[in-house]
Amino acid sequence: MATERKVQIKNADMDPVLQQEIVEVAKQAMDKHSTEREVANFIKKEMDKRDSPYWHVTVGRNFGCYVTHETKYFLYFNIDQLMVLCFKAG
């Protein structure tokens, strides 16, 4: 059974429906996997299947980044204590 997770969108250039889809995929990833790498891998592969490649995903507690992304395909949020950066480029 899935646990209730606290989600906060930090920055987004994305349709709200797609944002919610990514958040739900992230919740599934966290329920199934224990490491940040596995969570990121799950989200990336799932979004590549659902919305065509090329998704890039970074998951962690502390990281900095600066990326170029396709218009309307950028989401940065936290889920519980993890930060998730998810964007499409390529």
- Number of domains forming the structure of the chain: 1
Mean pLDDT value across residues 58-67 = 93
| 5-16 pLDDT, tens digit each | 999 999 999 999
In a domain, 30, yes or no: yes
Classify residue 36: in a domain, yes or no: yes
CA distances from 20 to 1, 46, 65, 90 (A): 19, 14, 23, 22
Q: Classify residue 2: in a domain, yes or no.
A: no
Specify whether the backbone of 72 is left (phi greater than 0), alpha (psi in -120 to 50) or beta.
left
Residue 53 in this model has a pLDDT that exceeds 70: yes
| pLDDT band (50, 70, 90) for residue 90 | confident
Q: What are phi and psi of 52, to 5 degrees?
A: 65, 150
Tell me the per-residue pLDDT of 16-48, one tens digit each, with 9 for 90 and over. Answer: 999 999 999 999 999 999 999 999 999 999 999
What are the backbone dihedrals phi and psi of residue 39, each rounded to the nearest 5 degrees, phi first?
A: -65, -50
> Which range marks the domain in which residue 56 is found?
7-88
Q: How confident is the model at residue 4 (pLDDT cuts 50, 70, 90)?
A: confident
Task: Kindly report the CATH number assigned to the domain that includes residue 55.
Answer: 3.30.740.10
Q: What is the pTM of this model?
A: 0.92
